[in-house]
Amino acid sequence: MVRFRAQICAAIAGAVVCGCAGAPADTKPNLVNDIPPAAETSVVTGALPPTGYQLTEEEQKYDCPKLTGLMQIRILQVRGYDSNKKTSVAARGLQALTTPIFGGTKEGVDPDAQYHKDIAKLHAYNQQLAFLKCKTFDLGAELAATGDTTPTPRYGPQ
């Protein structure tokens, strides 16, 4: 009976290993948006982008309310970031190891890099708001604020 169970377990393990080996080489879509490659010049300022984030064509078509809403949400998400309150290196390593095998998201594998991407995106969006002559955010003050107060654009045309 024990030998039969061992054979069943070996057969299941073999099927899982073969299934993983036969999986397509393409990785699952990542929920964390990677920074698009920087162009030679910024559409907003005509100079090299200081933030390291280049707006996509779709993002350049956003109007003031859409950009403002996206920024409010992102500011609220980033506001709670604390580099001392993140998962352990072991947990992130285990997630990075198992994600290619079992699938899933890479969200949270590198919280510091995600934080810097979010800040770069906020600066690029704020530049786009200024380019569109919309009210812009004081990112320093909004990110330093505590609580769940909704970020409000303060500078620019009325």
124 part of a folded domain: yes
Residue 55 falls inside a structural domain:
yes
Task: Give the C-alpha separation, 48 to 38, whole Å.
Answer: 9
- The pLDDT value recorded for residue 47 is 40
- Residue 38 domain-assigned? yes
pLDDT score, position 112: 79
Count of beta carbons in the 10 Å neighbourhood of residue 23: 13
Q: Is residue 113 part of a domain?
A: yes
Cα of 26 vs its chain's centroid, Å = 20
Q: Considering the domain boundaries, does residue 88 fall inside one?
A: yes
* pLDDT digit string (tens) for the chain, length 158 residues: 777 777 786 777 666 665 554 444 444 444 444 444 444 443 443 443 455 789 999 999 999 999 999 999 999 988 877 655 666 777 767 777 777 777 777 666 677 788 889 999 999 999 999 999 999 999 999 988 887 888 989 887 75
Q: Which two tokens stand for residue 21?
A: 């080996």
**Domain housing 92:** 31-144
Q: Is 6 among the domain residues?
A: no
Q: What pLDDT, on a 0 to 100 scale, did the predictor assign at position 60? A: 92
Is 20 a member of any domain? no
- Per-residue model confidence (pLDDT) at position 85: 60
At 58, give phi and psi (nearest 5°): -65, -40
Q: How far is CA 69 from the centre of its chain?
A: 17
Q: What is the pLDDT of residue 107?
A: 65
Quote the number of domains for the chain.
1
pTM over 0.85: no
Q: Is residue 5 part of a domain?
A: no
